[in-house]
Amino acid sequence: MASKTTAPPERMDVFSADYVAGRLAYEEQTSPLRSRITNLNRCLIVSLLTNALAIGGMIYQSEHQQVQVMGFMLDKASHLVGLGVPVKGPEAFHEGVRLELLKEWLSKTRTVLQSWETERVFVDWALHHTSDQPHHAFTKLQGWYSENQPNERGKQGTVTVTVTSTIRLTDQANAYQVNWTEASHDLNGAKVGETRWTGIFNLAFAPPKTLESAGENPAGFFITEFNWSPVQ
């Protein structure tokens, strides 16, 4: 006689009423918290992107920062009556201004002082007013300082420079011939000798492009080439 098999009871996955009620209560309690966390994450992402853009903008601006030189005119009551941008290039400066800057460069380059602190100011000024473009004047001046170290020369005495004449050369753009004398003195200040010199100097003007360069060379005056020799 065949045995009678009994089918297993059908499985019913049914949530109890208490579980459903508890789940709903949990959702109601945690839903605002999850919303706040989501909003905070969004705000954090937006803040990071904003900071990244701000930092990138500052880096770009620092690399492309330029100083625009402005000229202004005041009346007797110190009221502003005129404002403008100066003309660029060598011709923007009066001939007398160019000559004074050239003579100052020559004097500070070749003067020798006993005080190295003061002499170093002269050396730094000369280097900040000398350019390797389009020639190699800056490199040449550095080499000259290496061969004629002013700090060592100052221990033996001093040298003063007196410009005697300047001539603007017509066959070269912005080139001048300068003649000068150099008087040597011992450590007690007594004059021990004098030599005469002559040289050819090329100059250029380039407006400063950064705040640092504007502080070092506000006029944008540069010696781009120089050659000097003693007069026999």
User: Could you tell me if residue 115 is inside a domain?
Assistant: yes
- The answer on 122 and 60 residing in a single domain is no
- The answer on 211 and 100 residing in a single domain is yes
C-alpha 76 chain-centroid distance? 36
Domain assignment of residue 209, given as a range: 94-230
- Give, for 19, the enclosing helix (H) or strand (E): helix 17-63
Q: Rounded to an integer, what distance in angstroms lies between the CA atom of residue 213 and that of residue 223? A: 15
Name the nearest CA neighbour of 164 among 192, 194, 196, 191.
Answer: 196
Q: How many CB atoms lie within 10 A of CB 159?
A: 19
- Each residue's pLDDT tens digit in the chain (232 positions)? 445 555 455 444 444 666 555 655 655 666 666 666 676 667 667 666 666 666 666 555 555 555 555 555 555 566 554 444 454 554 556 788 889 999 999 999 999 999 999 999 999 999 999 999 888 999 999 999 999 999 999 999 999 999 999 999 987 778 999 999 999 999 999 999 999 999 999 999 988 888 888 888 888 999 999 999 999 8
* Total domains present in the chain: 2
- The token pair at 99 is 């000559």
Q: Rounded to an integer, what distance in angstroms lies between the CA atom of residue 32 and that of residue 105? A: 74
Contact 132, 146 (CB under 8 A): no
Q: What's the pLDDT score for residue 102?
A: 95
Peptide bond into 208 cis (omega under 30): no
Beta strand spans in 34-79 (E): 71-74
Q: What separation in angstroms does the CA of 82 have from each of 56, 71, 128, 167?
A: 37, 8, 31, 35
Backbone angles phi, psi at 25, to 5 degrees: -65, -40
User: Could you tell me if residue 75 is inside a domain?
Assistant: no
Angle subtended at Cα 89 by Cα 207 and Cα 161, rounded to the nearest 5 degrees = 85
User: Could you tell me if residue 55 is inside a domain?
Assistant: yes
